[in-house]
């Protein structure tokens, strides 16, 4: 129960929802953004699973990212 409440509060505070696709700025490359999926939150960071890069420090490709390095994907209908 407490975990679900925490997730709802962080979704509202961070303005992202679990399962939402986002752009993630890569710290190891200058001005490079890749796609990721929000999988959780910490008090100051967003947990994001990287879905475009083949390698990462952790096998499950989940990292804690500063909110300033995350952007919503603006979908454009064609």
Instruction: Indicate the domain borders of the chain.
Output: 2-72
Q: Can you tell me the distance from the alpha carbon of 48 to that of 1, in angstroms, rounded to the nearest whole number?
A: 23
The answer on pLDDT for 75 being more than 70 is: no
Mean pLDDT, the chain, integer: 78
CATH number of this structure's domain 2-72: 2.30.30.140
Q: Give the number of C-alpha atoms closer than 13 A to the C-alpha of residue 5, restricted to the C-beta side.
A: 2
Higher per-residue confidence, 78 vs 50: 50
Could you give the C-alpha distances from 1 to 6, 8, 47, 48, 67, in angstroms and in order?
9, 11, 20, 23, 25
Between 4 and 70, where is the model more confident? 70
Between 33 and 12, the higher pLDDT residue? 33
pLDDT given at position 22: 92
pLDDT at 78: 46
Whether residue 58 has pLDDT greater than 70: no
């Amino acid at each position: 129960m407490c975990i679900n409440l925490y997730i709802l509060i962080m979704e509202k505070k961070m303005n992202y929802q679990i399962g939402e696709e986002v752009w993630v700025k890569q710290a190891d490359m200058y001005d490079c953004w890749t796609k990721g999926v929000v999988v959780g939150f910490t008090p100051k960071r967003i947990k994001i699973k990287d879905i475009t890069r083949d390698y990462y420090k952790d096998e499950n490709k989940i990292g804690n990212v500063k909110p300033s390095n995350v952007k919503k994907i603006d979908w454009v209908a064609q």
